[in-house]
Amino acid sequence: MASFVTVSAELVERVRSNINEPASNNDPLRGDLEIAQWLQDGLLDYIAKIPADAVPELVVHRTFTGGYWSITDDYLRLLHVVCDHTLTVGSITVTLTEQAYVLDVDEQNLVLYQPAIMGAWARFDRDDIGDHVIRVGPNCVSGTITYLGYPASIAHCNSIFPLGQEHEEPIVNYATHQALAKVNDEDAPRYMERYKERVAAENDRYTRPWKTEKESSGGKS
C-alpha cells in the first residue's frame, strides 16, 4: 500500500482555498507563515481534546528505574503508569507489577494515611533541583510510563503533517476559522462548528479511552 505524506504547505493552500485568498493575491490579508501557525495551534488544540486512542502514532512508552521518571520535552499528557515495586510480608519480599493509581493534587493524604490500601501510586512532583518528575511508589524498583507525546511542529511550510490523513480536515477547519475571524468574516463560526463536531465525533468513536489522561505542567509549554 502506498504511503502518503502531506506537507504543511498543502494544508496552507487548502486554507487559502477556503478563505478565497490564493497565494497569487498581490496584497494578501494573511501570510503563509501566519496560516501555518494557525494550523499548528489547531493541531495542539485538537490532540488535547481527543482520546489518545484516536492518535496511536503519538503514544510513547518509556521505561525507568528507581522511584521517579523525569518528564521529557516531548511529553504532553500522561496515559498510565505501570510500577514494579517490592512488598515485604513477614520475612518474604516479593516484587509486584501493577498499574499505578495516579493521584490528584489533593489526594496525597491517601499515601500518608492509607498506605495499606493504596497499592501502587504515581503523582506529579519535582526533584531536588526543581525539574518536573512523575514520582512512583511505594518502593518502586522500575516501571513504564505511557504518555501522549507532542507531535512534530507544522508551524513552517515544509513540515510533514504528523497524524494520519483522516485528521487533516479538522486542523484545516480550525485554521480557516482563525483566518476568517481575523477579518471578521461571517463564515468563521461555520468552520469552528465543523471543527468542534469532529472533536465530538472522535470522542464518541472510542467507548473505552485510556483510563488515565492527565496533563502536567512539565514538558513543553
The total of other beta-carbon atoms located within 10 Å of residue 54's CB is: 21
Computed over every residue of the chain, the mean pLDDT equals: 87
Yes or no: say if 161 and 168 are a contact pair by the CB < 8 Å rule: yes
Q: What is the pLDDT of residue 120?
A: 87
Q: What is the pLDDT of residue 207?
A: 66
User: Which DSSP symbol is given to 77?
Assistant: E
Q: What is the pLDDT of residue 211?
A: 53
Distance in angstroms (rounded) separating the CA atoms of residues 157 and 187 = 25
Q: Give the residue, 108 or 10, on which the prediction is more confident.
A: 10
**144: pLDDT strictly greater than 90:** yes
Range 27-32 contact pairs with CB under 8 angstroms and sequence separation of 24 or more = 29/182, 29/183, 30/179, 30/182, 32/157
Q: What is the pLDDT of residue 38?
A: 97
Q: Domain map of the chain by residue range? A: 8-56+153-215, 61-148
Q: What is the pLDDT of residue 114?
A: 56
What average pLDDT does range 137-160 have in this prediction? 92
Give the pairing of strands 92-99 and 75-89.
Answer: antiparallel
What average pLDDT does range 89-105 have in this prediction? 82
Q: What is the pLDDT of residue 214?
A: 58
- The SS3 assignment for 60 reads strand
Helix, strand, coil in percent for the chain, rounding step 5: 40, 30, 35
Taking only the tens place, the pLDDT of each residue in 59-76 is: 999 999 999 999 999 999
Three cell numbers, residue 2:
502506498
Binned at pLDDT 50, 70 and 90, residue 2 comes out as very low
- For residue 185, give the nearest of 1, 21, 14 by alpha carbon: 21
State the pTM of this model.
0.82
Distances (CA, A) of 115 to 27, 136, 139, 211: 66, 13, 12, 22
